[in-house]
Amino acid sequence: MIKRVRVSGLGQPWVFTQLSEGPRAVLALHGTGASSHSFRPLAAQLQGRWALWAPDLPGHGASPLAPGFRPTRQALAASLGAALSALAIPWALALGHSAGAAVLLQHRLETPARDREPLPLGLLAPALLPLTGMQRWLFPAAAELLARYPSWLSRLVARATPERLARRLVADTGSTLPQAQLQGYADLLALPSHGEGALALMRHWDLRSLTSALRQVQDPLLILTGTEDRTYPRPPRAALAPYLPQAAWRSFPGLGHLLHEEAPAEVWAAIGEWFPGDALDGLTR
């Protein structure tokens, strides 16, 4: 961590962490249950060339969930937009992982056209498709149950220990992480406020209105996925391609949902190889 900045977005606090230094800035949004620590391996690839800034989503990590704030996708995007305006950093690239990708796209959709200069977007294992079947009902119901009875979550973490639970949860994503990244998740699981924040996001998560709106996204897109992703095992390309015709796709054999933490050098190289022209000139140098 180089430095942290706390800003307010419509009354909701956001804590941004600058993880690397450089002349151009990258915005990176993590997914549910993670924090800015998710981008530490990627930031290590950028040091001296790019300044990577990653906020903790509301209720996650160092960003407290403001009283009365409901972390819907739309509310998160609106609050993020206000926070970014306060931060006033000119972004050259934006990344979004999993649920963070959906928040990023919603933010871009809500940015007024007069302020919406094209921004290259890298979407890492994006969560853009609504849950189907029983998952559609069980996902929010389980989150609601645990939110109503938070002592159950505390007992679960205490019984398994944060370290053991982190290993289990990461393994369920299909990814294999180094110990430093696993410890980051264990540290988060030891924070009751983090678990409550993740459950609040899960409880309010609904993608049904996003999919059809994706056609309005005009930014250049690169979508990166891992073949061993167990969090969203359904291949998204066929379903998403009609809505994001400008997107390029890159699949990484053997990587899971946390692909940017498993293979940061390969993921960053793929971003640098794809973006056309001089939009990201010098990206891989």
Domain ranges of the chain: 3-130+207-274
Six-digit token pair at 115?
Answer: 């302020």
How many C-beta atoms surround the C-beta of residue 173 within 10 A?
A: 24
Q: Over the stretch 214-224, which tens digit does the pLDDT of each residue have? A: 999 999 999 99
pLDDT of residue 150: 53
Task: Tell me how far apart the alpha carbons of residues 260 and 62 are, in angstroms, rounded to a whole number.
Answer: 21
pLDDT in tens, 106-132: 999 998 877 778 999 999 999 998 765
pLDDT band (50, 70, 90) for residue 76: very high
Alpha-carbon gap, residue 275 to 213, rounded angstroms: 23
CA distance 55 to 130: 25
Q: What is the pTM of this model?
A: 0.90
Domain 3-130+207-274 has CATH 3.40.50.1820: yes
Judge whether 95 and 120 are in contact, CB under 8 Å.
no
Cα–Cα distance measured from residue 170 to residue 261, given in angstroms and rounded to the nearest whole number: 11
* Angle of helix 179-189 versus helix 162-171 axis, rounded to 10: 120
Please give the structure tokens belonging to residue 34. 């993670």
